[in-house]
């Protein structure tokens, strides 16, 4: 584990901690989608199962804390974790109690009353402003629930919040199996990937991905760029993008990425054609452009069939593939073919022995829609955290645990 981050970080692992009979406070990432008062995608709950099962077997008293959504420091019923407790109980096949608060005398009492192997899920951390402010008193209140702290919320470790950096200052701390697995797979990308190494980067904005693009150019053999961000790259090359999404202030940065790819002898591919529309909405008439240029009154909504063909050729040759960000407006079926094609090609590459790593909520949603999640080597539960790790940043949640 020590080598998965910068050498200065030494992370104690869950399996190295004495936990039997102890109250173990676990920071999980149960920020899951809810629909009609029920969990509509339980992948993040399933990702926590190895840690939870280990704790049950070790006869720990398990207290789970998580955030859900953005309730802005006060209770909101639609962001309650109560439905999550029911969903977790079902997939874990063991009782999961829910407590309607995460701090205070009654919350502490509920934690103290736990028996060995029992699980208690506390209410949303973000119902308190102290969570996102990393308030020391709030962190102290949370820490009073347990005797040992396990960081297993990879999707939150890039945030300096009370539950991620405050608690480790107070309790003996370690990383759970989910975080260990995330670091292990991302280390393959950062460290010594099997080659050819192909990175596929999409999503709406260049500004969100500049850091990781520059870092990946030091490591990859091929970089495939799609999604809304591709139009800023095309504009940097002097190619007409019609009314497509454009970050004018990032044109120079996009050009710098292209220049660096030439200097590093990295194959950098932009969309060769597009699905173009007059407006982004279901049922609209879709046309395929004849080349890279998009007509003046049209908007690029997805990569075109020729681009899919080119991108898939690169994926087929790869031994390591990292994907973050969709190729188009995948939420609308007419504009999902590019993202679906990438997902299917990665599943095929995985069957042929390639290491396939996917990060970012939208990319994971594409996999989920196609039933392909389990065919990947690794699906990262933390898009932001995985990108920051790839950029070489030290994540606050890991630094706080490091001895």
Residues 260 and 236 sit within 8 Å (Cβ to Cβ) = no
Q: What is the pLDDT of residue 129?
A: 96
List strand residue ranges (DSSP E) for 84-165, in order: 97-99, 119-122, 148-151
Q: For residue 70, what are the CA distances in angstroms to 35, 76, 237, 325?
A: 16, 9, 39, 22
Report the Cα 156 to chain-centroid distance in Å. Answer: 9
For 207-259, the pLDDT digits (tens) are 888 988 998 999 999 999 999 999 999 999 999 999 999 999 999 999 999 99
| Helical packing angle, 49-57 and 177-190, nearest 10° | 140
Reply yes or no on whether 37 is catalytic. Answer: no
Confidence of residue 393 (pLDDT cuts 50, 70, 90): confident
Residues 399 and 46 sit within 8 Å (Cβ to Cβ) = no
For 303-324, the pLDDT digits (tens) are 999 999 999 999 999 999 999 9
| pTM (2 d.p.) | 0.84
Reply yes or no on whether 353 is catalytic. Answer: no
Task: Kindly name the residue from 44, 159, 209, 250 that is annotated as catalytic.
Answer: 44
Task: Kindly name the residue from 46, 205, 243, 317 that is annotated as catalytic.
Answer: 205
Confidence of residue 145 (pLDDT cuts 50, 70, 90): very high
Rounded Cα distance between 235 and 81, Å, is 44
Q: What is the pLDDT of residue 6?
A: 43
DSSP secondary structure, 222-291, as one string: EEEE-STTHHHHHHHTT--BTT----GGGHHHHHHHHHHHHHTT-EEE--SSEEEESSSSTT---EE-SS
CA neighbor of 127 nearest in space, from 87, 77, 175: 77
Task: Kindly name the residue from 361, 370, 392, 393 that is annotated as catalytic.
Answer: 361
DSSP secondary structure, 187-235, as one string: HHHHS---SSEEEEE-SS-HHHHHHHHHHHTTT-SEEEE-STTHHHHHH
Residues 5 and 183 sit within 8 Å (Cβ to Cβ) = yes
Question: In the CATH scheme, what is the homologous superfamily, with its name and number, of domain 10-178?
Answer: Phosphoglycerate kinase, N-terminal domain (3.40.50.1260)
For 272-293, the pLDDT digits (tens) are 999 999 999 999 999 999 999 9
Rounded Cα distance between 338 and 348, Å, is 16
Q: What is the pLDDT of residue 8?
A: 53
Q: What is the pLDDT of residue 2?
A: 35
CA neighbor of 49 nearest in space, from 89, 80, 11: 89
Q: What is the pLDDT of residue 369?
A: 86
Reply yes or no on whether 44 is catalytic. Answer: yes
% pLDDT > 70, the chain = 98
Q: What is the mean pLDDT of the chain?
A: 92
Q: What is the pLDDT of residue 361?
A: 78
Q: Which residues neighbour 143 within 8 Å (Cβ) at sequence distance 6 or greater? A: 25, 149, 166, 167, 170, 171
Task: Kindly name the residue from 146, 359, 384, 397 that is annotated as catalytic.
Answer: 384
CA neighbor of 102 nearest in space, from 129, 122, 72: 122
User: 28-54 b/e with 16+ CB inside 10 Å = b?
Assistant: bbbbbebeeeebebbbbbebbebbbeb
Rounded Cα distance between 118 and 403, Å, is 29
Write out the residue limits of the CATH 3.40.50.1260 domain(s) in the chain: 10-178, 185-390
Confidence of residue 3 (pLDDT cuts 50, 70, 90): very low
Q: What is the pLDDT of residue 128?
A: 97
Reply yes or no on whether 384 is catalytic. Answer: yes
Q: Name the CATH code of domain 185-390 (choices 3.30.70.1060, 3.40.190.10, 3.40.50.261, 3.40.50.1260).
A: 3.40.50.1260
Question: Mean pLDDT across the stretch 16-27?
Answer: 96
For 315-350, the pLDDT digits (tens) are 999 999 999 999 999 999 999 999 999 999 999 999
Q: What is the pLDDT of residue 7?
A: 45
Which residue, chain included where needed, has tokens 């991108």? 311
% pLDDT > 90, the chain = 78
pLDDT at 376 over 90: yes
Question: Mean pLDDT across the stretch 173-195?
Answer: 88
Q: For residue 228, what are the CA distances in angstroms to 170, 279, 307?
A: 44, 14, 14
Least confident of 42-56, 236-250, 355-369: 355-369
């Amino acid at each position: 584990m020590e080598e998965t981050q910068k050498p200065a970080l030494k992370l104690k692992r869950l399996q190295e901690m004495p936990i039997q009979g102890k109250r173990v406070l676990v920071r999980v990432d149960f920020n899951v989608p809810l629909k009609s008062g029920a969990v509509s995608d339980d992948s993040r709950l399933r990702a926590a199962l190895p840690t939870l099962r280990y704790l049950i077997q070790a006869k720990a008293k398990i207290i789970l804390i998580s955030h859900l959504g953005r309730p802005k420091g006060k209770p909101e019923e639609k962001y309650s974790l109560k439905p999550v407790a029911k969903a977790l109980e079902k997939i874990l096949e063991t009782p999961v109690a829910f407590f309607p608060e995460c701090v205070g005398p009654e919350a502490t009492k509920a934690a103290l009353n736990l028996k060995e192997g029992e699980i208690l899920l506390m209410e949303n951390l973000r119902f308190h402003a102290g969570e996102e402010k990393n308030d020391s008193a709030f962190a102290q209140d949370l820490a009073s629930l347990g005797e040992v702290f396990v960081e297993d919320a990879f999707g939150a470790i890039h945030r300096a919040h009370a539950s991620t950096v405050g608690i480790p200052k107070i309790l003996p701390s370690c990383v759970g199996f989910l975080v260990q697995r995330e670091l292990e797979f991302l280390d393959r990308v950062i460290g010594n990937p099997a080659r050819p190494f192909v990175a596929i980067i999409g999503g709406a904005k260049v500004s969100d991905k500049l850091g990781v693009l520059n870092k990946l150019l030091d490591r990859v053999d091929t970089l495939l760029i799609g999604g809304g961000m591709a139009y800023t790259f095309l504009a940097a090359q002097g190619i007409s993008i019609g009314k497509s999404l454009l970050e004018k202030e990032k044109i120079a940065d996009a050009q710098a990425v292209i220049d660096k790819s030439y200097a590093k002898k990295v194959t950098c591919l932009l969309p060769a054609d597009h699905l173009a529309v007059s407006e982004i909405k279901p049922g609209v008439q879709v046309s395929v452009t004849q080349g890279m240029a998009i007509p003046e009154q049209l908007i690029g909504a997805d990569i075109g069939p020729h681009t899919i063909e080119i991108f898939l050729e690169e994926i087929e040759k790869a031994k390591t593939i990292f994907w973050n960000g969709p190729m188009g407006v995948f939420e609308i079926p007419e504009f999902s073919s590019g993202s679906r094609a990438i997902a299917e090609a990665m599943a095929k590459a995985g069957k042929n022995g390639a290491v396939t790593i996917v990060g970012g909520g939208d990319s994971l949603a594409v996999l989920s829609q196609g039933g392909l999640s389990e065919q990947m080597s690794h699906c990262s539960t933390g898009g932001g955290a995985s990108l920051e790790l790839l950029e070489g940043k030290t994540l606050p949640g890991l630094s706080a645990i490091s001895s």
